[in-house]
Amino acid sequence: MYLYLPVALTSINILIPIGLGLAVGLLSGLFGVGGGFLMTPLLIMLGIPATVAAATDSNQIVAASTSGTYAHWKVGNVDFKMGLYLLAGGFIGGLIGVQGIKILNTMGNADFVIKITYVLMLGIVGTYMFIESLLSMKKKKVEEVKAEKESGITRFLKSLPLQTHFEKSGVTHSAILPVVFGGFVGILAAIMGVGGGFLMVPVMVYILRMPMHVVVGTSLFQILFNCIEVTFLQAYTNHTVDFMLAVLLLLGSTVGAQIGTVFGRKLKGEQLKIILAVIVLVVTVKIIFELTLSPTLLLAQGGGH
Amino acid sequence: MPEHRTQNTGYRIRFLLFALCSLLFALNGIALAELTAKANHDHITIDFFYHGSSVSVKGISEPGTDLIVKITSPERHEALRKKGKVAGFLWMNVGKLTFERAPFLYFLHSTKNIEDILGREEMDKYVLGYPALSRHMEVTPVANDKEKNIWFNEFLKYKESSNLYSTSSGKISTVTKNGKQEYSIVLDWPYQASPDNYVVTVHAVKNGKVAETAEAKVLVEQVGLVKGLADMAKNKAIFYGIISIIAALGAGFGVGLVFRKGGGAH
């Protein structure tokens, strides 16, 4: 059955966005990522204009992350305090990132910088997570060496002012730390035009040393607020949010996020990390193929990632 | 007497002129009435279950004439991103191209190959065929005509991939009945064609020239809730944005509650 989308100005088989929503919502509930890096390109492939795909995806992530945050909050896996610090940093970073894009655009090489940054970040994060989780799973003695290496960094982090305890995560850090790293992810996310969940998760795991299950819930919490802001701005300034498409996507993604949370509880932190690493690496390879293989069409609509 | 004769001659000349004019007018009238065009589905409404439509164009023409059926939307300017190679091997967006005087939709169907029945001047005058459209449109920024042609061909590929541009010859069926030629063509109307006023132009071609032209219209418009939502997205953007967010939050919480209830049952 087909449904016409009033803003995208196209017709779509309703089972496709519901199915896509379900799959991406599942990833969202499992790993605490918004899934924009998967959903937006898939929507464009289905004939949705790039600008509408990106804006509508933000709207459906609001639903999926609400569903996911709620499910994680019920089992005590959301660190609201940490989430708010990251959110504050992310907000400032987003503003800086938008200015960065303006500068890149005037320099005329914005797309090159964005694509290369995207591939490098995905590649580095995916590879690091993959190797680290694999080593942890094999329980090699790497941990001891690491602990020694990290002691210097840990000492430096402990010496920072405004130390505060994050009860849910069971860690003590300077309040500056989540704000700075939230800001860093915010800058990159704004430049790359994505939500940044795939960057925020490793920051929380490896730098803030939060337990993986709390990471997922907290990441979803801050993604929720980011996407509310993006949805509103897109609807207000670009008129590119397609409500009907968002409804179809969220029908799948809200349920998917719940299922993902249930599955996530059955998996160990290391298993979750390695699966996310594999997904990130697969996306990296896909983008590398897109960049190197001759495209069938040399013209495309403006906007999107 | 000579004066009377002159008067008579004057009357005769005036009468002859009048008769000649009447005959020409009548002949012209017959010729104008010869070609007709009607689109059977001239008002396409877009509701939630719209997935494209079909439009048939039919009419009557003088026997033996070739026919060209053109359907276009009003011309507009389209700004598109162009892809190119960076560092010799990476394909990415390398800038923007603007296509001026470009119809959003362009269908051209003829009884025979258009270049075999019309001269270049006529094709350019009525913008018939891709070569004429290429000469009619402006592409900026391009360095020269060669580059313009390359990007025009890419523009055609882009449009044809969305079913918005198409050309064919031989698809118009014709039957001669009672000394008149009846023609018809059935076209798939793509759902990608946005709401607009489309013009169907039928040209009768004789001796390499357009002899007659007839027109019909196809109106495509959104109706009901589809129109309501599209209008709200444009004209009440703040309200639309807030509603979209509330609906998403509500759906997220709603599904969360349903799952909690489900979980409680175990």
Which pLDDT tens digits describe chain A residue by residue (305 residues)? 899 999 999 999 999 999 999 998 888 888 877 777 788 888 888 888 888 888 898 898 899 889 889 988 988 889 999 999 998 998 888 788 777 777 776 776 667 777 788 888 888 888 988 888 888 877 655 555 555 555 667 777 778 788 888 888 888 888 888 899 888 888 877 777 677 777 888 888 888 888 888 998 998 898 888 889 888 888 888 888 999 999 999 999 889 988 988 888 888 878 888 888 898 899 889 888 888 898 888 998 765 44
The C-alpha atoms of residue B162 and residue A303 are separated, in whole angstroms, by: 18
Report the chain B residue with the minimal C-alpha distance to residue A73.
Answer: B256
Q: Which residues of A touch B252 (CB under 8 A)?
A: 62-70, 250, 254, 257
* Mean pLDDT, residues B216-235: 94
High-pLDDT (> 70) share of chain B, %? 85
B241 pLDDT band, cuts 50/70/90, is very high
Q: What average pLDDT does this structure show over B21-29?
A: 42
Q: Which residue has the higher pLDDT, B33 or B13?
A: B13
DSSP letters of B207-247?
TTEEEEEEEEEEEEEE-HHHHHHHHHHHHSHHHHHHHHHHH
Chain B residue with the nearest C-alpha to that of A236:
B237
| Backbone angles phi and psi of A205, in degrees to 5 | -75, -50
Whether B61 shows a pLDDT value over 70: the answer reads yes
Nearest CA in chain B to A294: B91
Residue of chain B nearest A72, judged by CA positions: B256
Cα separation values, B27 from B62, B207, B215, Å: 13, 19, 21
* Contact yes or no for B249 and A300 at CB 8 A: no
Task: Give the pLDDT score at B25.
Answer: 41
Q: Do B81 and A47 touch (CB under 8 A)?
A: no
Chains A & B: contacts with CB separation below 8 Å:
177
How sure is the predictor about B11, in pLDDT bands with cuts at 50, 70 and 90? low
| pLDDT confidence of residue B31 | 42
Of A292-296, B157-161, B164-168, the poorest mean pLDDT is in A292-296
Is residue A4 a contact partner of residue B50, using CB atoms and an 8 Å limit? yes
- The per-residue pLDDT for range B64-92, each reduced to its tens digit, is 899 999 999 999 999 998 888 888 888 88
Q: Which CATH architecture has domain B35-221?
A: Sandwich (2.60)
Confidence at residue A290, expressed as pLDDT on a 0 to 100 scale: 83
Judging contacts by C-beta atoms under 8 Å, the chain A residues touching residue B83 are 295, 297-300
Tell which wins on pLDDT, B107 or A121: B107
- pLDDT above 60 (res B133): yes
Q: Inter-chain contact B237–A236, Cβ cutoff 8 Å?
A: yes
Could A3 and B194 be called an inter-chain contact, meaning their C-beta atoms sit closer than 8 Å?
no
Confidence of residue B169 (pLDDT cuts 50, 70, 90): very high
The residue of chain B nearest to residue A290, with distances taken between CA atoms, is: B91
- Using a CB-CB distance cutoff of 8 angstroms, which residues of chain A are in contact with residue B189? none
- pLDDT tens sequence across B186-215: 999 999 999 999 999 999 999 899 999 999
What's the full length of chain A, in residues?
A: 305
Q: For A9-13, B113-117, B260-264, which range has the lowest pLDDT when averaged over its residues?
A: B260-264
Evaluate if residue B10 carries a pLDDT over 60.
no
Bond before A17 cis per omega within 30 degrees: no
Question: Is residue B19 predicted with pLDDT exceeding 70?
Answer: no
Give me the pLDDT at residue A164, please: 86
**Residue B21 confidence class, pLDDT cut points 50, 70, 90:** very low
Residue B3 has pLDDT above 70, yes or no: no
CB atoms B96 and A302 under 8 Å: yes
Phi-psi region of B170 (alpha: psi -120 to 50; beta: other; left: phi over 0): left
Q: What is the pLDDT of residue B9?
A: 57
Distance CA B70, CA B73 (A): 10
CB-nearest to A241 from B52, B233, B259 is: B233
Cβ–Cβ gap A235/B48 under 8 Å: no
Q: Where along chain B do its domains lie?
A: 35-221
In this structure, are residues B73 and B27 in contact, taking their beta carbons and an 8 Å threshold? no
B204 Cα to chain A: minimum distance (Å) = 34
Q: CA B175, B181, B187: angle at the middle one, nearest 5?
A: 65
Amino acid identity, residue A56? T
| Confidence tier at B33 by pLDDT (50, 70, 90) | very low
Q: Do A70 and B249 lie within an 8 Å CB cutoff?
A: no
**Contact criterion met (CB < 8 Å) for A302 and B230:** no
Residue B85 near residue A42 (C-beta atoms within 8 A)? no
Of the candidates A6, A10, A112, which has its C-beta nearest B191's C-beta? Answer: A10
Domain ranges, ordered by start, for chain A: 2-292
> Does B38 score more than 60 pLDDT?
yes
Shortest alpha-carbon distance between residue A193 and chain B (Å): 15
Separation in Å, CA B186 to CA A168, B40, B53, B111, B113: 67, 10, 11, 13, 18
Which residues of chain A neighbour B50 with C-beta distances below 8 Å?
2, 4, 11
